[in-house]
Each structure stands twice: as C-alpha cells, then as structure tokens.
Amino acid sequence: MTRAKNRFKLFRKLIVYKLKSRHRKGFGIHSPAIFSLVNKGFSEDCDISVKIGATAYKQTLKRVTKSIPRSTFGAGSLLSPNTKPTTPAAINREIGISKKHGELLYKLSTFYGRDGILELGTGLGSATYYLASGSPTSRVITVEGHRDYAETAKAVLEQIGITNIDIRVETFTNETKRIKEENGRLGLFFIDGDHSYTPTLEHFKQCTEIGTEDAVIIIDDIHWSDDMDRAWKSIKEYSSCRVSVDLFRFGIIFTNKKLQKQHYTVRY
C-alpha cells in the first residue's frame, strides 16, 4: 500500500474518531479516577516551566549538526521513506512527539509516574523530556535500540537539566526481562516502538508483568496502521485491561483490577 493511501486511511479514521468521541469534560464517565483525569488532567494547562524546557530541548537539538543514520527498527514512518543520514532536528520533526501530546504525557506522568516510568522507544528524547519533567523525583528508564538516537537524546536532555533518566541501548524484550528478573515494579509505561501487531501485543504483556497493581500503560499511534488497529482491539479484550481510553493517537490502559471493565473514546 502506498504512503498516500496510508495517509488517506489515517485521515478517514480521524474523521470517524471525531464523530464517535465523547466525554471531553468527563461527562458520562462513571469511574471517579478516570473522570478526574479527563476533567482536570486533560484540560488544565501545563506549567510555564515545562513549556520553556520543551523550547530549550528543541533549540539544543538544533545545535547538534552532525548527521546520524535514521533508525530501521520497527515498522517505519508513514511520513518519510528516506533512510539517508540527516540532522537529529530533522529526524525529530518526523518522529518526535507533538506539543499537544507531549504536554499530555507530562500530565499523565504527574498523575501516575510516582512509582517509576518505563519508555519503550526513546527516539531522540522528545517524549522522554515530558515524562521525566512530570515526575522529577521518579526514575525514568527509557529504552532505545538505535545507539546514535540514544546517545543524542542523553546528551541533549542532560544539557537542559533532565537528570532522572536512565537511557539503555537494548531491545525492549531484553530490558523488560531484566527488570522482571530484578523484581522491579513500575507504575507508568509508554510504548512507542515497533508499530506492528505481534510486537505491540508482546510489549504490552511484558509491561503488565512488571507493572504495579494499578499500573497505567500508554500506547502510541494506536490507529497508525491496520496492524495497530488490530493490536488495540486485542489489548482492549485482555483481562489485564480494566479501563481503556482511546484518544486517537494514544491508547491508555488502566490495569487496576478494582476498576469495572469499560472503554471510552474521549475527544482530545
């Protein structure tokens, strides 16, 4: 399938989401915890210091002029088939988190990151910045298979004062296995790696095995492709998924067994 057709399909999915999404202010959501998140967390603005830090991150990344090869891990990008080396800033424009969704990650980190955070797919650190800023006293383990990406992200984040991150160059499976062997338990997960069906299911299951009893798992790009649509549908049916929230780009899974099984499509 051509990239033009992929983009058209994604746009069509967005229209369907816009028509079906509800609960913008939390109305109709029965769970008090989920209502509070949507009513307050989604609508409240970020602290100005977070916005300033995000600007500093982009400016610092722009000053890295050495070209690096693009990653060949995962299912690739809908936006660019180009695999030639280029500057980190140019790559980040394609793979980096948007301001809107980065600030949402910050809020989710503030709400749920106190027990530690695991990010699968550092990229160049744009999402890592928001996750680490939301829970500055928590450890953020972030895993990236592309060494040049990981080293660039580490250098840039350290330059802007982000010190609570642990960037590891490893496969997602090996890293989650190591955390499990160490009896680690984390409260918040952000999966932004291989955008295909089976790996997404595997990474989700691996996260549930090392999550706290009330862990929250965020999956990026849940409607990015037919594979990701299928993965999202499958995950919603798992017994470990108690409440699922579809924000079109993000899918948020709440694993607390005390919650009644529900699904919400929320306008964001």
- What pLDDT is stored for residue 147 in this prediction? 96
- What pLDDT is stored for residue 218 in this prediction? 99
Distance from the Cα of residue 28 to its chain's centroid: 26
| Residue whose structure tokens are 């939390």 | 26
Match domain 3-265 to its CATH number in 3.40.640.10, 3.30.300.30, 3.40.50.150, 3.30.450.20: 3.40.50.150
- The predicted model scores a pTM of 0.93
- Residue type present at position 140: V
Provide the 3-class DSSP secondary structure of residue 220: strand
Provide the 3-class DSSP secondary structure of residue 228: helix
Provide the 3-class DSSP secondary structure of residue 117: strand
Give the mean pLDDT of 88-114.
Answer: 96
> What percent of the chain stands above pLDDT 90?
75
Q: Answer left, alpha or beta for residue 250, where phi above 0 means left and psi between -120 and 50 means alpha.
A: beta
* Cα 240 to Cα 245: distance, rounded to the nearest angstrom: 14
Distances (CA, A) of 101 to 17, 46, 66: 16, 12, 28
- Residue type present at position 31: S
> Residue 77 pLDDT more than 70?
no
- What pLDDT is stored for residue 167 in this prediction? 98
What digits encode the pLDDT tens for the residues 103-153?
999 999 999 999 999 999 999 999 999 999 999 999 999 999 999 999 999
* Cα 263 to Cα 246: distance, rounded to the nearest angstrom: 8
Provide the token pair at 146.
Answer: 């592309």
- What pLDDT is stored for residue 43 in this prediction? 80
Task: Give every CB contact of residue 136 below 8 A, 6+ residues apart in sequence.
Answer: 164
- pLDDT category at 2 given cuts 50, 70, 90 is low
- Give the single-character DSSP code of 68: B
What digits encode the pLDDT tens for the residues 247-268?
999 999 999 999 999 999 998 8
Contact between 165 and 157 (Cβ < 8 Å) = yes
| Residue whose structure tokens are 């595997």 | 202
Average pLDDT for the chain: 92
* Cα 163 to Cα 94: distance, rounded to the nearest angstrom: 25
Nearest by Cα to 214 from 259, 255, 258, 260: 255
> Judging by DSSP bridges, how do beta strands 211-220 and 250-254 pair with one another?
antiparallel
- pLDDT category at 44 given cuts 50, 70, 90 is confident
Q: Where are the domains of the chain?
A: 3-265
The H or E element containing residue 179 is: helix 172-181
Nearest by Cα to 47 from 116, 108, 107, 131: 107
DSSP secondary structure of 3-35: HHHHHHHHHHHHHHHHHH-B-TTSTT---HHHH
What digits encode the pLDDT tens for the residues 203-261?
999 999 999 999 999 999 999 999 999 999 999 999 999 999 999 999 999 999 999 99
